Structure formats: C-alpha cells, structure tokens
Amino acid sequence: MKREGLRRLELWLPVDHPLWRYPSGTRARTAVTMLDAGMLSVQILARLEERMDRLAEQIAGLAERIIRIEEALKQGSGIGKGVGDDSKVMPDPGAWLDAWG
C-alpha cells in the first residue's frame, strides 16, 4: 500500500525496547513521536551549546575587565597601604578609563 508523501523506514529494535510496551497498532505513531522528540532535543541542545559558548566568551571578557580594574586600583588607589597612611595617591585617569573598556 503506497501512502502519498510518506516513506517507509524499517528498523530493528532490541526485544526489551520500551516501544514494545505500547499496544500493537500504536507503535508506529509512537515511534514517529519519539523520533520527532529526539530530533527536536538535538536541535535544542545544539542551540544551548551555542548560547553557552557565547556566555563563556562574555564571562571571559568580564574577567579580563575585572583584572584590568583591579590593576588600575592597585596602581592608583593606594590599595595595600597601611592603615593610617596619609599619603594621597591620585589614580591616572587614562588608566582608570582604559580599565573600564
């Protein structure tokens, strides 16, 4: 029997595959649903991996900016000086602005 717009797929499944738990007559439709869900899951996972890669790049960029800010603060803000040290150090405005990207 030819069905318009459809092609047949023959596959072998282990005897303990969950699909065999479905009643005869519903297995083909259930298998199609499972295949569609699996293919959709693969697409969703690929998009999630792409988003995670972009987030990792953004986090790395933020980490670099934090390092530059910390270095600028150490160079010009007096961080690390003893308590009660009255010397006043003015940060370099250019270095400060460069640290913010």
CB count, 10 Å around CB of 78? 15
- Give the model confidence (pLDDT) of 8-34 as tens digits: 899 999 999 999 999 999 999 999 999
82 pLDDT more than 90? no
Nearest C-alpha neighbor of 11 from the set 41, 40, 35, 38: 35
What's the pLDDT score for residue 69?
A: 87
Instruction: Report the alpha-carbon distance of residue 56 to residue 64 in Å, rounded.
Output: 12
SS3 16: coil
- What's the whole-number average pLDDT of the chain? 85
- Give the model confidence (pLDDT) of 31-66 as tens digits: 999 999 999 999 999 999 999 999 999 999 999 999
Identify whether the C-beta of residue 77 lies closer than 8 Å to the C-beta of residue 87.
no
Identify whether the C-beta of residue 67 lies closer than 8 Å to the C-beta of residue 100.
no
25 secondary structure, DSSP code: T
More confident residue, 7 or 79: 7
Give the pLDDT band (50/70/90) at residue 73. Answer: confident
Locate 54 and state its tokens.
């972009």
0.75 exceeded by the pTM? no
Fill in the amino acid letter for 40: L
